[in-house]
Structure 1
Amino acid sequence: MNLSDLTLIQDIARHGSFAAVARRREVDPSSIGRLVAAVEAELGFRLFARTTRRMELTEAGGLYLARIAPLTEELDRAAEESRAMQSEPRGTLRLSASATFGQKFIVPRLASFRRTYPEVAIEGLFTDSNVDLVADRIDLAIRLAPAIQGDCIAAKLMDTHYRVVAAPDYLREAPPLARPEDIAHHRAILFPYRDYRSRWIFRDANGTVTEQQVCGNLVLSPAGAIRDAVLAGLGPALLPEWLIEDDLANSALCSCIEGWDVTATSSGTAAWLIYPNRSYLPAKVRAMIGFLRGSIHKEA
């Protein structure tokens, strides 16, 4: 028996006839009779005593309806509240991002988001491990990659660009670091992912590609730890601009090998918005997606 069966029985009891309910539902009265008969057969007792002139609830039917009334009211309330979550941002938003991106890019924006959407609670899971969106009940994830594979919806949040950087004190004592081949004379600070710790790819203004092997004896994660090590003068590193833009502006770090675009992958990378399904996307998720995109647009 489903909820529609229960509400049908309640409608019949409320209006007192099959015909009245049939008119309201714009169906044939005989179909109402067949549905009631099927419900009574499933329950094992008669809900309505009916003659050619009148219809009344049986004693068992009255008891049954009295017991199911709170249940159907609660189900209606649950459906109403759930529909409200689809139209108004509210509830708990579980958000995932890489550790450093979450701390550097997401956390500073949360105060503004909460002022705009005070009914949305946020649970941030910031980790460099790829979480399972469904198993970990993640509403929205942000991943940094050239492209996104898998059974999920992906939309680009922003392109990400990288630079080879080093601390001024390090550069004063180290060999030159002006051209891609110069990296061979340095021990770089490396990220543990395979592509990032083996070779960096440089492209000049004409599109010429130069691939350089990198080596180093310091491998760190997350990216924020690499930044701290570079600031401490432990060597050069390949870091995203969104992480080091303030350090470059205040000269805490220097951009090296100028005039070349550099990546650790064969194509450019981006920050991607990832969510499990496009259908019935909750308002809280739509709100965060719009907020993050709007925030980037204002800064551009």
Structure 2
Amino acid sequence: MDFQALDLFVAVARAGGFAAVAKERFLDPSTVSRIIAGLEAELNVRLFQRTTRSLSLTEAGALYLARMEPLLDEMRRAAAEASNVNAEPTGVLRLTASVAFGVQQIAPLLGDFCAVYPRLKLDCVFTDANLDLVQERMDLAIRLAPAIEGDLVATRLFSTRYHVVASPDYIARAAPIGEPRDLLTHRCLLLGLRAFRSTWKFKNAQGALEEVSVDGDVVISTPLALRAAVLAGGGPALLSGFLIADDLRAGRLVDLFPDHRPTPTTFDTGAWAIYPSRAYLPNKVRVMIDFLRSRLS
């Protein structure tokens, strides 16, 4: 089946005539008519009703259009993806992530990424709001979540986990903390998300689950500010591992329950790369996903 013939058939059906399509594609109208006639002969069916003044789809033509138009779109996307596999990505990549993840994980890598892909410009929007990717014209989003719901396409970059931490200064002056239930006697620092503010879940090495009600006098809206309050000795807090890994290594913070795995929601959480369409993944998005996965995982 001739791709050009199929493409012209769809174009003629949408335009309602040969002349407009011929002018747009710098073809003679008789050439367009001949190609369509050849397609009809190959299918052994009339696709258009022709008069001296009008052109309209037959019933068979309408059915054929409904089937073929999505297939042609898919073929175009496949051809574009194949041609872009080895092509150097260009243009602008619009990426969004939370403020904490953007500052801690993405921003330090941008120089290296631009060195590898010098013809690709980056427009990074770091915000704690979950932007509508289509409405905001975002090519890619990085989100931390148990799973991604909705029509968006997601691929896991890496698994994440949480830790309950406090500063050495707080530990030295506060009541002892040995087990998760000891948090009942402490005023915790809380993140301003509903799941973080009332109950923290803990799983020990044997897999036993324990839920602890937490309370506190300070609720903070962003993880970066919450980390700063913990570092200043304000109390225990539940924070994502990527945010405090350097603090734990340097001794600025202490993991209060190294033998437990805590979480505010579910234990299977991750960092996800999200893009709007399953049908077509632009080369610029693909290289960014591959880069982040290689550097962050």
TM-score by shorter chain over 0.5: yes
Whether the aligned pair in 2 keeps the contact of 1:140 and 1:274 (CA below 8 Å) is yes
Residue in 1 aligned with 2:22?
Answer: 5
> What residue identity is the alignment partner of 1:91?
G
> What residue identity is the alignment partner of 1:12?
D
Displacement after TM superposition at 1:262 (Å)? 0.5
Alignment of 1:48-59 (within 5 A): none
Residue in 1 aligned with 2:70?
Answer: none
Residue in 1 aligned with 2:208?
Answer: 208
Counterparts of 2:258 and 2:150 in 1: how far apart (Å)? 36
Q: CA RMSD in A?
A: 3.2
Counterparts of 2:40 and 2:199 in 1: how far apart (Å)? 76
Displacement after TM superposition at 1:240 (Å)? 1.1
Residue in 1 aligned with 2:72?
Answer: none
Displacement after TM superposition at 1:6 (Å)? 2.0
Rg: which structure is higher? Answer: 1
Change (3 A) 1:169 1:28: closer
Change (3 A) 1:29 1:175: closer
Deviations 1:4-31 (A, max 9, x none): 42255x3339xxxx57995xx6964999
Displacement after TM superposition at 1:261 (Å)? 0.6
Whether the aligned pair in 1 keeps the contact of 2:141 and 2:273 (CA below 8 Å) is yes
Counterparts of 1:194 and 1:91 in 2: how far apart (Å)? 39
Displacement after TM superposition at 1:85 (Å)? 7.0
Whether the aligned pair in 2 keeps the contact of 1:85 and 1:284 (CA below 8 Å) is no
| Stretches of structure 2 lacking an aligned partner (at least 5 in a row) | 1-14, 42-49, 55-79
* Alignment TM-score, normalising by the size of structure 2: 0.75
Counterparts of 1:277 and 1:29 in 2: how far apart (Å)? 32
Displacement after TM superposition at 1:184 (Å)? 0.8
Residue in 2 aligned with 1:74?
Answer: none
Counterparts of 2:39 and 2:269 in 1: how far apart (Å)? 63
Change (3 A) 1:175 1:84: same
Change (3 A) 1:20 1:95: closer
Secondary structure in structure 2 of the residue aligned to 1:11: coil
Counterparts of 1:20 and 1:209 in 2: how far apart (Å)? 70
Counterparts of 1:227 and 1:187 in 2: how far apart (Å)? 15
Deviations 1:231-268 (A, max 9, x none): 10111111111111111111111110221110011332
* Alignment TM-score, normalising by the size of structure 1: 0.75
Secondary structure in structure 1 of the residue aligned to 2:151: coil
State whether structure 2 residue 149 is matched by structure 1 residue 149: yes
Change (3 A) 1:20 1:225: closer
Deviations 1:193-241 (A, max 9, x none): 1110111100011111000000011111211111110110111111111
Secondary structure in structure 1 of the residue aligned to 2:238: strand
Change (3 A) 1:3 1:180: farther
Residue in 1 aligned with 2:283?
Answer: 283
Change (3 A) 1:158 1:19: closer
Secondary structure in structure 1 of the residue aligned to 2:28: helix
Change (3 A) 1:84 1:253: same
Whether the aligned pair in 2 keeps the contact of 1:187 and 1:217 (CA below 8 Å) is yes
Counterparts of 2:130 and 2:142 in 1: how far apart (Å)? 10
Residue in 2 aligned with 1:271?
Answer: 271
State whether structure 2 residue 180 is matched by structure 1 residue 180: yes
Alignment of 1:114-133 (within 5 A): 114-133=114-133
| Stretches of structure 1 lacking an aligned partner (at least 5 in a row) | 32-37, 43-80
Counterparts of 1:184 and 1:99 in 2: how far apart (Å)? 30
Secondary structure in structure 1 of the residue aligned to 2:115: helix
Counterparts of 2:122 and 2:40 in 1: how far apart (Å)? 52
Displacement after TM superposition at 1:90 (Å)? 1.1
Residue in 2 aligned with 1:259?
Answer: 259
How many residue pairs were aligned?
250
> What residue identity is the alignment partner of 2:158?
M
